[in-house]
A and B are shown apart, each in its own frame.
Chain A
């Protein structure tokens, strides 16, 4: 095994494979920065170019590109409050708040360092977990996957706001997200639901215009009203020192970063849940790590742990989602489904062969994830000063540039004017949520999980009727959901009794 691991590294370091990896990294860097241009879409666009490549070169190119998208997506989230990727939305919550507090450098440093830790954890998990993960994946059927989605939602709804009222609003936001996920043609009966006779809504609400609207538009309005730069009147501070502080934060909260990386890896392994879920689960866990309600109140206002959690999970999920893709041919996400297409184009069959005959190729993927992230993080640190200085540019100069980015980002997701309208409508919803102090994260998670949860619920009911509720893992997950809901109350009671 160690020999194959070494051979995998040598394969990636061959000049041709390394060159293709650098090309992929360059593409992924920009795709991650630009809102709307998704990593999965770009993977699909690049697939035809791998025909003439060797498997190692092709995976160095595709994975090199895909592995860095989440890393650079965090940069746009932190600096402008516009999620560069759907998987970077959770970073906006505290990352952008830190930027507004004049801590852009620290937030970027934390996002990049945690991304690197996450990527390494995910890659190590990929290398180590292949022989042991099979029974775990096979234990989870549709009922368990549905309950996992519910636990995720309960997690974020109960933790993203304070008190009973905050929790109620969290569940309302999450429920609205779930309900809006039902817009479009239903996959079981083909009924057009809530489409109001418009063809655009038949495929449902696309995540990118909604995300861009709900996060970016309120920030643009805020920037307009304040009339100053993103960092406001906060002292700019030394960006390089700030970034170093962010790196130190990663190691100060090392176990949190590792735990969030493991959450990302685990969600990545579970087919169908994807990176958008992983980041919010990790964010929820980061909030949960706060020891007192007062400490928890800092989340959403610029707590570095709110950047570390999603940053780590975003990147560790790649290694995780490669596990079922490589080992069983079951893609863990859309991007992995496209990568599976790449396997087939190259004549490789995922499954036992990838763990025996082509083990070195499998390990070359592990190395690609690690090397691509190391290179990207190093490049980002070199240009950190220039990146962070953007937040000190006057707001009225930034607004037109950000708005162009927002509208193009939204439009490119479906090439339809409806995307722009959706962005503005959800911009309005996001603005109301910000004004009213409602958490936005449960809404996004609800929207992300809606389709997946519906599918699993349908299969569970159709296959087991009500008996799915009595399956042992389902019962455990129900208990976890209840515990997650009760946890903030118990924590508040404990701190009251201490006081």
Chain B
């Protein structure tokens, strides 16, 4: 995995730097100066790292740790619920679902812990700081906002 991760990063940087140089060619010099000054050496350095990784057989291959997909799935699901239902609902739904389904906590603990986090979120960010949290697409679509 370190080898693959390193290769993925180096190739990603190479592509990003290559694209930056390609795109900057069409801009005025004022806008292109810095992307070119960074992009060209960055592309070369990334190419060296790619070659080094491919040639270097010593870099240990380590198996990816188990269950990496699962935390990503939870985070992406949380993002989706925020967009669909808005922060106030999503915080409660996510915390309760995580504690019950992933952490296998008791109902009592899950409900009390969820209520505490939601109260802290609502009290601090909404009541005290008046930060604007949109209602979420579904809530708006249903006209509940």
Contacts and interface: CB of A to CB of B under 8 A. Distances in A.
A297 B50 CA distance: 24
B121 A179 contact: no
B13 A396 contact: no
Interface residues of A, number: 56
B38 to A, nearest CB: 5
Interface stretch (A186-194, A366-374, A474-482): A186-194
A404 B125 contact: no
A417 B82 contact: yes
Given A188-B30, A420-B79, A435-B1, A193 B35 contact: yes
A323 to B, nearest CB: 29
Interface in A160-199: 165, 168-169, 171-172, 175-176, 178-179, 182, 186, 188-189, 191, 193-194
Contacts of B95: 400-401, 404
Contacts of A193: 23-24, 27, 31, 35
Contact of B28 (A191, A424, A454, A457): A191
A182 B102 CA distance: 40
Interface string B112-125: 01000100010011
Interface in A398-441: 399-401, 403-404, 407-408, 411-412, 415, 417, 420-421, 424, 427, 429, 432-433, 435-438
A424 B6 contact: no
26 contacts: A34-B124, A168-B52, A176-B13, A178-B34, A186-B30, A188-B30, A193-B24, A221-B68, A396-B103, A397-B99, A399-B103, A400-B117, A403-B75, A404-B95, A407-B78, A411-B87, A415-B131, A415-B132, A421-B79, A432-B8, A432-B9, A438-B6, A453-B34, A454-B34, A458-B30, A462-B30
Contact of B5 (A168, A172, A176, A436): A436
By Cβ-Cβ distance, the 7 closest A-B pairs, closest first, are A436-B5, A396-B103, A175-B42, A191-B31, A188-B30, A436-B6, A224-B71
Contact of A400 (B30, B33, B99, B132): B99
Q: Main SS of the interface on chain A? A: helix
A436 B2 contact: yes
Contacts of A397: 99, 103, 105, 113
B57 interface: no
Interface in B28-84: 28, 30-31, 33-35, 37-39, 41-42, 45-46, 48-49, 52, 64-68, 70-72, 74-76, 78-79, 82-83
A225 interface: yes
A338 to B, nearest CB: 18
A486 interface: no
B13 A225 contact: no
A186 B129 CA distance: 33
Interface string A383-406: 000000000001011011101100
Contacts of B103: 394, 396-397, 399-400
